[in-house]
């Protein structure tokens, strides 16, 4: 087979496997096999291999693209179904109470689980969760509302163990950040006094802010003085004086006994709550500061409630301790007269309110005529006139002439 101009690879099987290099010499285009030389791939073979390689890659890419497209379609479809299911679930929340079916609160923007814990300051309630609150308030049903003020709605909540708490759903704190809210809550949670309604805990989720307070069995002073239902007994003078002294003690602590000092900004009869022994507790302290501290604009609104707002607040929106003293003076007038701060009875009076009516009567020497006839008798007339005098000092038009809450408390203790 030598010198025959053979070419190509030498087979490694058959008779060629027994050939020697000598028997194949002179064939320069032979390769491989017994010769031990490397065989180069021809151009045709190279082209064929490249075609197969490109074809394989194209087919693989096509299959991969189809697979990805199919998966994306399935994911989008299932996501749409899941979103629709969530919206349906949210729309049912008002009627669903069972925790096994409640997954989100009623705000469509909120997707927080109901297992979120409520930050508690009191050990007995440390395990309270958002789900517990929804169950205890019957999902914030209207029949559970026990108060509705400028800062939000208050609901009575009965826990599974029978304990009752009050849950305030803030209405003006939705835009504020959690950092500011939590900082204020941690401060207010430290305020403890026998004549202040204790903040037991708080919860922030999405746009909602909840505060958990002590539940006051006898409701508010406003409820007892107004007695709009006609089913409540008249508060006798001893209870009224007890309420005046206790409320002053609580405000004195806010102004002088706690650091940083707290200006209430919205003192009124509906914020004086009463326990089972008619011991007063001041509520909603710090909430005005909580709202204003987190506002992103300069507020031009006057703090307080009509009938309790001091005259100087008309020129300045800055709240002061002496402003609180003025508002407390109005409460003292309510206790002494039994009348509301504003109303049709004062149409002909300068100022058109209770303060103007009382001041007018005192100037005429008719102070006794303003005393509440429902409780007035010979035994308490002197004490009622003394409280009326203290109220008048609190209501001085010039804030500098008003006493401090510490001084007011001492004066009332001496009645």
Helix (H) or strand (E) holding 186: helix 178-188
Spatial separation of the C-alpha atoms in residues 128 and 99, rounded to whole Å: 14
The partner residues of 214 in beta bridges, in order of sequence, read 165
Tokens of 205: 């989720």
Spatial separation of the C-alpha atoms in residues 161 and 144, rounded to whole Å: 18
DSSP string, 288-353: HHHHHHT-SS---SPPS-TTT--GGGGT-----HHHHHHHHHHHHHHHHH---SBSGGGTTSTTSB
Token look-up 């109005």 returns 330
Is 21 annotated as contributing to ligand binding? no
Spatial separation of the C-alpha atoms in residues 271 and 287, rounded to whole Å: 12
Catalytically annotated residue among 222, 266, 284, 372: 266
User: Is residue 390 within 8 Å of 333, Cβ to Cβ?
Assistant: no
Phi and psi, residue 75, nearest 5°: -65, -45
266 is catalytic: yes
> Smallest Cα–Cα separation from 225: which of 167, 286, 268?
268
The residues carrying an active-site annotation are 266
Annotated binding site: 169
Annotated binding site for ATP: 169
């Amino acid at each position: 087979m030598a010198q025959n101009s053979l070419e190509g690879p030498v087979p490694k099987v058959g008779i060629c496997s027994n050939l020697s290099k000598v028997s194949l010499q002179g064939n320069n285009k032979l390769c491989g096999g017994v010769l031990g030389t490397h065989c180069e791939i021809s151009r045709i073979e190279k082209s064929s291999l490249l075609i197969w390689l490109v074809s394989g890659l194209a087919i693989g890419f096509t299959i991969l693209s189809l697979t990805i497209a199919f998966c994306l379609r399935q994911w989008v479809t299932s996501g749409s179904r899941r979103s629709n299911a969530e919206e349906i679930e949210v729309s049912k929340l008002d009627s669903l109470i069972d925790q096994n079916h409640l997954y989100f609160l009623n705000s469509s923007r909120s997707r927080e689980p109901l297992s979120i814990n409520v930050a508690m300051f009191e050990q007995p309630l440390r395990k309270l969760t958002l789900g517990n609150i929804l169950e205890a308030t019957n999902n914030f049903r209207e029949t559970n509302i026990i108060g509705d003020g400028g800062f939000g709605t208050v609901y009575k909540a009965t826990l599974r163990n029978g304990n009752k708490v009050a849950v305030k759903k803030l209405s003006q704190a939705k835009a504020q950040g959690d950092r500011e809210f939590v900082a204020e809550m941690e401060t207010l949670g430290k305020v403890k006094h026998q004549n202040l309604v204790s903040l037991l805990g708080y919860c922030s989720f999405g746009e909602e802010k909840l505060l958990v307070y002590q539940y006051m069995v006898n409701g508010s002073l406003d409820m007892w003085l107004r007695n709009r239902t006609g089913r409540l007994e008249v508060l006798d003078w001893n209870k009224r004086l007890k309420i005046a002294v206790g409320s002053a003690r609580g405000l004195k602590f806010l102004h002088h006994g706690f650091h940083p000092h707290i200006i209430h900004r919205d003192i009124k009869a509906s914020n004086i709550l009463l326990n089972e022994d008619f011991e007063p507790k001041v509520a909603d302290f710090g909430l005005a500061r909580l709202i204003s501290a987190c506002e992103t604009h300069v507020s031009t609104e006057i703090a307080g409630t009509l009938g309790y707002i001091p005259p100087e607040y008309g020129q300045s929106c800055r709240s002061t301790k002496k402003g609180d003293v003025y508002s407390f003076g109005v409460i003292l007038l309510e206790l002494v007269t039994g009348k509301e701060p504003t109303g049709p009875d004062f149409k002909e009076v300068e100022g058109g309110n209770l303060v103007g009516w009382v001041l007018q009567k005192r100037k005429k020497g008719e102070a006794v005529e303003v005393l509440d006839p429902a409780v007035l008798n010979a035994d308490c007339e002197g004490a009622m006139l003394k409280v009326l005098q203290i109220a008048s000092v609190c209501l001085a038009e010039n804030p500098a002439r008003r006493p401090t809450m510490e001084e007011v408390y001492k004066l009332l203790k001496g009645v």
